[in-house]
Amino acid sequence: MSETSSLAALFSPASIAVVGASRSASKVGGMVLANLVAAGYRGVVHPVNPAAARAGETLAGLTPLASSALLPPGVDLAVVCLPREQALPELALLAERGVRAAIVLAAGFRETGRQGFLAEQELKNTAESAGMLLLGPNSLGLINTACNLNASFAAGHPKPGGVSFFSQSGAMCVSVLDWAMGLGLGFSKFISLGNKARLNEADVLRALGDDPDTKVILGYCESVEDGQEFLAAAREVTAKKPVLLLKAGITPAGARAVSAHTGSASGSPAAYRAAFRQAGVIHVDEMAELFSLAQAFATQPLPAGPGLAVLTNAGGPGILAADACARTRLTLPRPSQATLARLAEALPGFASLYNPVDVLGDAGAERYRAGLALLLADAQIHSLLVILTPTAKSEPLKTARAVIDCACGPDNPEAKPVAACFLGGEGVRPAREALLKAGIPCYDFPEAAVGALSALYRQRGLQASRAASALPEASHTADAPWDDEAVAIISAAHAQGLLELGGVTALEVAHAAGLPVLTTGLARTSAEAVRLAGEIGLPVSLNLALREGDAAGAAPHSGGRGAPFARLHSAGAVRNAFLTLTNRAARQRPEASVTGCLVQAAAGTPQSGFELVVGFTRDPQFGPLLSFGLAGVGSELLGDISYRLAPLTPTDAREMLREVRFYPLLRGVDGGAVVSLRALERLLLGVSRLALRAPRLAGAQFAPVLAGAEGVFVAGARLALA
Amino acid sequence: MSETSSLAALFSPASIAVVGASRSASKVGGMVLANLVAAGYRGVVHPVNPAAARAGETLAGLTPLASSALLPPGVDLAVVCLPREQALPELALLAERGVRAAIVLAAGFRETGRQGFLAEQELKNTAESAGMLLLGPNSLGLINTACNLNASFAAGHPKPGGVSFFSQSGAMCVSVLDWAMGLGLGFSKFISLGNKARLNEADVLRALGDDPDTKVILGYCESVEDGQEFLAAAREVTAKKPVLLLKAGITPAGARAVSAHTGSASGSPAAYRAAFRQAGVIHVDEMAELFSLAQAFATQPLPAGPGLAVLTNAGGPGILAADACARTRLTLPRPSQATLARLAEALPGFASLYNPVDVLGDAGAERYRAGLALLLADAQIHSLLVILTPTAKSEPLKTARAVIDCACGPDNPEAKPVAACFLGGEGVRPAREALLKAGIPCYDFPEAAVGALSALYRQRGLQASRAASALPEASHTADAPWDDEAVAIISAAHAQGLLELGGVTALEVAHAAGLPVLTTGLARTSAEAVRLAGEIGLPVSLNLALREGDAAGAAPHSGGRGAPFARLHSAGAVRNAFLTLTNRAARQRPEASVTGCLVQAAAGTPQSGFELVVGFTRDPQFGPLLSFGLAGVGSELLGDISYRLAPLTPTDAREMLREVRFYPLLRGVDGGAVVSLRALERLLLGVSRLALRAPRLAGAQFAPVLAGAEGVFVAGARLALA
């Protein structure tokens, strides 16, 4: 839904109608009613069940109504527990009665094909014209622990807490709910979005962003309904609280499975990753990771820096933690001299004092307590991981209490995050439970613990960079030195029915769009080449020009700058090059339609540096998706391309450069800039602008972009028209 | 230990002395005795305890001996449960009594510093001179379920089965034991190696390789004692059964933690990874992964191909499985037309028949059974994953039984591997237990299940490539066209006290070693350059030559083949180039000692292709470690280097090329070979030979290697002398 209406009627209803309420525990209408009662909802509940009403029965002690038409005015929420065919007319009836919000649980809509799609449209239209909030269809329902509301047919009710979870998949809701209850983790809201006919992830994100009970937002999504809307909502919310999303279908195979499952085309994986990054969302890759990160985010503060201390009673798991650490941005700093001295006093002689700090296999709780207190006081240390392996001398439960005392008491005045990893089975179970109950995340394996602490640190970085950088501003696109010439060329080409622009014309568009383009002319004869070279000024480079629409023709400089016909210094060389190139092409590629040669300025172009490619495509979900990499097939093969969505902020442009693995080559290894990074950033911003201003462009590829310390020059372009 | 003696006295002893046996459950000697008795060991047990013997007490119903000196002759195994100081003289006594094997549990040896190191040496010498097997010190002991032997102080005794586990870390033993018992997974042997004073991972690997009770070998190691010995043992054993190793300290931070923990320097992470790869070991990165792979390997056959079918009652987890699949080499093939037709009959109308196959949320056990049987019969499908999310209609336990029936019965005649992922908590626990008991691995999350099935497929590939390729043969090094000239040059340089060879001399070594070297001469004057060019034959390329030992001088062609002074066609051009290069150097790098220019043949060298680097270093643990990548700083920055240990097999050489991400660029995108791969493989084999034949070489770097379709040419070399 487009308007950001308050979701209070849905989340905190004063009265609820359960349409299709039942006394049978095996029916959805029975489960919902039972859940509502069992969770202790304190508002008014109106069961609706014609048969029960006729028979004069009560349902869960309440007198059922014979029809939704008999509902009192002003009911906040109706949970529709009827199959698809009945749900449709029922929703209309509820709308008439002025019900403010509805949850439709029935499946059989969009996910089942054309007929279901039409039924879903009808549902949506009914709710929309009545201004009624609609969750679902194909939803599992909703839980809000703040008002003891369980309007779902999922089993169980989590304890109150700061985590809220929304999910497109009911199965994922069930799993997370089960897991949360098993761990005793506190939740605020559980929202099963279902098919998202009206309410989608953007609406729910905004509502949870404004919800004072929600400290951390977890989500599972397979697709988003409106990419730009999602991006805007996520940007707003991540400035306030952490958002962790598990996106299913983030690989091509997964994306195909999403289409089969939801019946909707999803955006490209690259676009999703870019959107999450630009919105400050923490992108979670696996189900296990969602769970382990959620535990840490729900209970722990963010660390002030990367320094992690590992305190362990066994070497092996400590080393595995160190290995895991090396795969993140966390560091394992050596404790300060003062800390080392105090550790040496507090721990036995053979204990390893460096980091990981090994208190040895015979350590009881007090040795842990002493080590922990000292490490918490060390300024180099920003977060802590406590590892325990059961031994003959270990005291798991007492150690858990020592960890809780230190982490939650006066020993931790700076509120450094603390996590635990207690290995082993039954023997450490009470210790684990004590830790979890006290709000210390406890993991089965050291790697998961390090992963979670590292995510806390990443979130810290996200918040810091968010605070430092501005959001994209209208001025960024409005003030561009843009005239209508580029659009005019594109329109003219479009009118001619062209699908692709290359060669000189494409470079003209780029030039008109304010991109730094090398002066280029098309020579059909060698004489024309010599004349053009004179006009442009020597040295020039020559490249074969093929007919528009012929792919190869759109990429001049295919031979690279090291090719024989780059940087020609005399008219004779230009003439020879023209003849050689065209003759060779006629011999070697008789199928290509050679129109002549592109003559291109070579003066002032970088003598050393890189050939790069900058381009964009239009993602069906998120709009223009910019890409940046090395020219040639290499970038794609190496998977070394960075992506961002337009509009690009200056920060986005800077990050796009830094994200590729070859960035150190651009920056220069010894400090001397190999490539003008500022000029490259300007180019990226210019392409972002062009993508937004010229909707007729389906995509563009600027390659090669000659990049050196002297500047950045677009030497070739290829534009796809929509 | 070097000899591969039989470990029968250790693994299957007929009689055991427990030295330091105790009745106290809090003492190590008490725990060991209690474990021996509780596990039902059927051999003779001799407790040794002077005080108890004096007091006439019995220990666990047995009469203790007052001293090891009173042991009957021919005792197989002694478990020494005494502290370090007592353990040393006791071991000597046991050796005198002819005890065949000993386990020393005490800590306080090598891991604690110099004094401990000396004590460990003494222990080792005592055992060695008596020809006594020695496990430990600092060991947790040993379990062998085949003869009800629990000679450890770990709690619990796993049920018999096909997995054996060895570990350098006692903590890891405890964790794996706990986990195995929790899952009811069957184990054959548990071996806690401790400090490995005599018995090390290579001995244990060989013994487990020969052990008919062991189907799969799991190991945890922090370091290996003897790299080459380990490599040889692992190569032998992986030809017979899968070996999965979790190597801690595989990152620089982790390696530092290993040194702190074990007091021994370990090999480089790259060398370990290469060793595992070449030995056919499955390298496990995280503790959780070791557990999840072990489950699959312990129970399931290897799949015949990559095709995985996912059968699920919920879309979300199915999509996550598809995503996980895309990160491995597994594929999700579409079922055959015949299977699709039968699935359409067996499943409801809205079910998704493609892969993942979605039987829908209301599926009971019989729907799963029907889908599973059909997919097992499909020739495209080589392995199966069954996902269940609890819903109102799901039947977890019945579904588990259906899975067991299908997987273990006549529906699975080709023995395709089957794994399960049952999401949710208490509700699915009985189903999970039934699956595990029946030998179907069951995972908490879809990604872990896919990871395990993918490892089974990888193992299939390892076995296939192992069967196809020969082991390195002596002939490979012996028959080389090698004369002593290279060694002579190196010795002469060494005698002069040089630490590094570059320029012409290094190329001479390479040439003498049979590597394809470009003809190169050193010109001190421009006239000499012209003369050399005449001798070598035009065209030539020129590069600055700096004094031996000056790093820059060792790398000719630093300007690349596109540089101005490559491929000079006339005497005049050669003279000019000489003067320009030397003058520029004098101006720009006055600190460098220019000795002239290297004049190098350019005729016949590739006009297009790549500049590569091939080299080796000597790993302290594994010996010569070869590397291959793109020349320039790029390779290292991009982390795109492949490593292998010498001696290289032809298969190793081929794989070294295929492993780098830029391999498709070498191979050519459209089939035309860009680079002669055969010539490159020969070069790698030649460098491997040189590394083995010239121990005075501490390392070598051949760069640039000009590689094109015409061949491969070493244009620069730099050798480090030991």
| pLDDT digit string, tens, across residues B9-67 | 999 999 999 999 999 988 999 999 999 999 999 999 999 999 999 999 999 999 999 99
Pair of tokens at residue B655? 């794989």
Token pair 């049979």 in the structure block, residue: B514
Q: For residue A532, is pLDDT > 90? A: yes
Please say if the pLDDT value at position B697 is more than 70.
yes
The DSSP line for A481-546 is ---THHHHHHHHHHHTT-SEE-HHHHHHHHHHTT--B--EEEESSHHHHHHHHHHH-SSEEEEEEE
- Residues contacting residue B358 through CB under 8 Å, at least 6 positions apart: A260, A261, B312, B313, B314, B315, B318, B351, B352
CB neighbour burial string for B596-605, b if at least 16 within 10 angstroms, e if fewer: bbbbbbbeeb
Contact list in B for residue A113 (CB cut-off 8 A) is 350
Whether a cis peptide bond, with omega within 30° of 0, leads into A441 is no
Q: How confident is the model at residue A482 (pLDDT cuts 50, 70, 90)?
A: low
pLDDT tens readout for residues A57-116? 999 999 999 999 999 999 999 999 999 999 999 999 999 999 999 999 998 898 888 899
User: What SS3 state is found at A258?
Assistant: helix
Residue A588 has a pLDDT of 73
Tell me the pLDDT of chain B averaged across its residues: 89
Q: Which residues of B79-92 are buried (b: 16+ CB within 10 A; e: fewer)?
A: bbbbebeebbebbb
What does DSSP say about strands A520-523 and A610-619: parallel, antiparallel, or unpaired? unpaired
Could you report how far apart the first and last alpha carbons of chain B are, in Å?
A: 28
Q: How confident is the model at residue A563 (pLDDT cuts 50, 70, 90)?
A: very low
- Give the pLDDT band (50/70/90) at residue B671: low
When pLDDT is averaged across residues B467-494 and rounded to a whole number, the result is: 65
- The DSSP string of B493-544 is HHHTT-SEE-HHHHHHHHHHTT--B--EEEESSHHHHHHHHHHH-SSEEEEE
Find all residues with CB under 8 Å of A370, minimum gap 6, and list them.
A346, A347
Superfamily of domain B610-721: ATP-grasp fold, B domain (3.30.470.20)
Distance CA A151, CA A162 (A): 19
Q: How many CB atoms lie within 10 A of CB A349?
A: 8
So what's the pLDDT on residue B681? Answer: 96
Q: Please give the Cα distance from B522 to B505 (Å, whole number).
A: 10
What residues contact B24, with CB distance under 8 A and at least 6 apart?
Answer: B30
**Could you give the CA distance from residue A603 to residue A591 in angstroms, rounded to a whole number?**
33
Q: In this complex, is the C-beta atom of B31 within 8 Å of any C-beta atom belonging to chain A?
A: yes
Q: Give yes or no for A182 touching B (CB within 8 A).
A: yes
Burial-class residue A544 by CB neighbours within 10 Å (0-12, 13-18, 19+): buried
Chain A touched by B607 (CB under 8 Å): no
Please tell me the number of Cα atoms within 13 Å of B273 on its side-chain side: 14
- Scanning B414-443 for CB atoms below 8 A from A yields 423-427
At residue A80, the pLDDT reads: 98
Which pLDDT tens digit goes with each residue over B445-473?
Answer: 999 999 999 999 999 988 887 766 655 44
pLDDT class of A393 with cuts at 50, 70, 90 = confident
Kindly compute the dihedral angle of the four CA atoms of residues B453, B459, B464, B467, in this order, to the nearest 10 degrees: -160
Mutate: best of B308, B320, B329, partner A, most A CBs <10 A: B320
Given CB atoms, is A261 within the 8 Å cutoff of chain B?
yes
Q: How far is the C-alpha of B454 from the C-alpha of B451, rounded, in Å? A: 5
CA atoms of B578 and B596, how far apart (whole Å): 8
Question: What mean pLDDT do residues B610-628 have?
Answer: 93
Beginning with the edge strand found earlier in the chain, give each strand of the sheet holding B44-48 in spatial order.
Answer: B44-48, B15-19, B77-80, B101-104, B133-135
Residues of chain A with pLDDT > 90, as a percent, come to 67
CATH superfamily of A8-296: Succinyl-CoA synthetase domains (3.40.50.261)
Q: What is the mean pLDDT of residues A395-416?
A: 96
pLDDT (0 to 100) of residue B161? 92
Which of B169, B390, B446 comes nearest A315 by C-beta? B169
- β-bridge mates for residue B707, sequence order: B610, B712
pLDDT in tens, A350-359: 888 989 999 9
Establish if B257 touches chain A: CB-CB under 8 angstroms: yes
Determine whether A273 is exposed, middle or buried from the number of CB atoms within 10 Å of its CB (0-12, 13-18, 19+).
Answer: middle
Question: How close, in Å, is residue B452 to chain A by CA atoms?
Answer: 15
| Tokens 């570990």 found at | B167
CATH 3.30.1490.20: does it fit domain B520-604? yes
Q: Does A168 touch chain B (CB under 8 A)?
A: yes
Inter-residue contact A528 to A566 (CB < 8 Å): no
**Helices B170-183 and B287-299 meet at what angle, rounded to 10?**
50
Q: What is the pLDDT of residue A199?
A: 96
pLDDT confidence of residue B484: 77
Q: What is the pLDDT of residue B714?
A: 94
pLDDT at B157 over 80: yes
The answer to whether A268 contacts chain B (CB < 8 Å) is no
Partners of residue A705 on adjacent β-strands: A612, A714
User: Average pLDDT for residues A680-702, to the nearest whole number?
Assistant: 94
Q: For A431-450, how does the pLDDT look when each residue is reduced to its tens digit (9 = 90+)?
A: 999 999 999 999 999 999 99
Q: Report pLDDT for B659.
A: 92
Is pLDDT of A476 > 90? no
Residues of chain A with CATH 3.30.470.20: 475-518+605-722
A174-185: per-residue pLDDT in tens? Answer: 888 888 888 888
B5 touches chain A (CB under 8 A): no
Which of A51-60, A161-170, B110-119 bottoms out in mean pLDDT, i.e. has the lowest? B110-119
Burial label for A470, CB within 10 Å (0-12, 13-18, 19+), is: exposed
A288 touches chain B (CB under 8 A): yes
pLDDT for A549: 45
Residue B550's pLDDT is: 44
Mutate which: A178, A264, A320, vs B, most B CBs within 10 A: A320
Query: Which value does ipTM take for this structure?
Result: 0.89
Give the separation between CA A78 and CA A10, rounded to whole angstroms. 9
Q: How many CB atoms lie within 10 A of CB A722?
A: 12
Residue of B163, B110, B173 lying closest to B141 (CA atoms): B173
* B483, pLDDT greater than 60: no
Residue B431 banded pLDDT, cuts 50, 70, 90: very high
Q: Is A544's pLDDT higher than 90?
A: no
Q: How far is CA B678 from CA A419, B384, B466, B557, in A?
A: 53, 39, 21, 24
| pLDDT confidence tier of residue A554, bands split at 50, 70 and 90 | very low
Nearest CA-CA distance, residue B550 and chain A, Å: 19
**Which member of B260, B287, B319 has the closest CB to residue A254?**
B319
Position A553 pLDDT exceeds 60: no
Query: Is residue B172 within 8 angstroms of chain A, CB to CB?
Result: yes
Q: Indicate yes or no: CB of B316 within 8 angstroms of CB of A256.
A: no
CATH 3.40.50.261 domain position(s) in chain B: 8-296, 302-468
Q: Which residue of B has its CA nearest to A181?
A: B425
CA gap B515, A421 in Å, rounded: 53
Strand, coil or helix: B419: strand
3-state secondary structure B629-685: EECCCHHHHHCCCEEEECCCCHHHHHHHHHHCCCHHHHHCCCCCCCCCHHHHHHHHH
Q: Kindly report the nearest CA distance between residue A184 and chain B, in angstroms.
A: 13
Cis peptide before A620 (omega within 30 of 0): no
Contact A318, A442 (CB under 8 A): no
Name the minimum distance, in Å, from the CA of A423 to any CA of chain B.
Answer: 6
Share the mean pLDDT of chain A. Answer: 89
pTM reported for the whole predicted model: 0.89
Interchain pair B315, A257: CB under 8 A: yes
Worst-scoring range by mean pLDDT, B339-348, B481-490, B555-564, B648-657? B555-564
B133/A352: higher pLDDT: B133
B448 contact residues in A (CB cutoff 8 A): 288
Q: Greater confidence, B507 or A634? A: B507
Closest-CA distance, A668 to chain B, in angstroms, reads: 10
- Least Cα separation, residue B256 to chain A (angstroms): 9
Provide the 3-class DSSP secondary structure of residue B599: strand
Q: What is the rounded CA–CA span in Å between residue B30 and residue A152? A: 55
Q: Looking at residues A456-483, what average pLDDT do you find?
A: 65
Short-list A242, A282, A315, A296, CA closest to A448: A296
Instruction: Say if residues B368 and B411 touch (Cβ distance below 8 Å).
Output: no
Tell me if residue A600 falls in helix, strand or coil.
strand
Residue B389 corresponds to which tokens in the numbers above?
């999310």
Please name the residues between 302 and 321 in chain B that touch chain A, using a CB distance below 8 Å. Answer: 313-320
Output A290 or B267, whichever has higher pLDDT: A290
pLDDT at A559: 35
CB of A174 within 8 Å of a chain B CB? The answer is: yes
Q: Please list, residue by residue across A365-395, b when 16 or more beta carbons sit within 10 angstroms of its beta carbon and e when fewer do.
A: bebbbbbbbbbbbbebbbbbbbbbbbbeebb
What is the structure's pLDDT at B672?
Answer: 63
**pLDDT tens, residue by residue, A281-311:** 999 999 999 999 999 999 999 999 999 999 9
Which distant-in-sequence residues (6+ apart) come within 8 Å of A191 by Cβ? Answer: A135, A142, A164, A165, A166, A167, A204
Which run of H or E residues covers position B703? strand B697-708
pLDDT recorded at residue A562: 38
Give the closest residue to A137 by CA, choosing from A179, A189, A192, A93.
A192
Beta carbons of A174 and B390 less than 8 Å apart = yes
A588 burial level (CB within 10 Å; 0-12, 13-18, 19+): exposed
Rounded to whole angstroms, the maximal C-alpha distance in chain B is 105
- Please tell me whether residue B130 adopts helix, strand or coil conformation: helix
Interchain CB contact of B642 with A (< 8 Å): no
Nearby residues of B502 by Cβ (< 8 Å), 6 or more positions away: B546, B548, B549, B550, B551, B553, B554, B555, B717, B718, B719
Given a cut of 90, is residue B719 above it in pLDDT? yes
Fold adopted by A302-468? Rossmann fold (3.40.50)
Average pLDDT over residues B630-643: 79
Spell out which residues of chain A touch residue B173, defining contact as CB-CB under 8 Å.
Answer: none
Residue % of chain B over a pLDDT of 70:
92
Tell me which residue in A286, A389, A640 faces B175 most closely, judged by beta carbons: A389
- In angstroms, what separates the C-alpha of B660 from chain A's closest C-alpha? 9
> Which chain A residues contact residue B246 at CB under 8 A?
320
Tell me what pLDDT residue A564 has: 44
Burial class (CB in 10 A: 0-12, 13-18, 19+), A538: middle
Subunit contact A254:B326, Cβ cutoff 8 A: yes
User: Residue A320: is its pLDDT beyond 50?
Assistant: yes
CATH 3.30.9.10 fits A475-518+605-722, yes or no: no
The pLDDT-based confidence of A556 (bands split at 50, 70, 90) is very low
Measured distance CA(B114)–CA(A324) in Å, rounded: 30
Whether the CB of B563 is below 8 Å from some CB of chain A: the reply is no
Chain A contact for B25 (CB, 8 A cutoff): no
Spatial distance between the Cα atoms of A439 and A301, rounded to a whole number of angstroms: 11
Cβ contacts (< 8 Å) between B357 and chain A: which residues?
none
**pLDDT of res. B478:** 46
- At B173-221, the pLDDT tens digits run 988 888 888 888 889 999 999 999 999 999 999 999 999 999 999 999 9
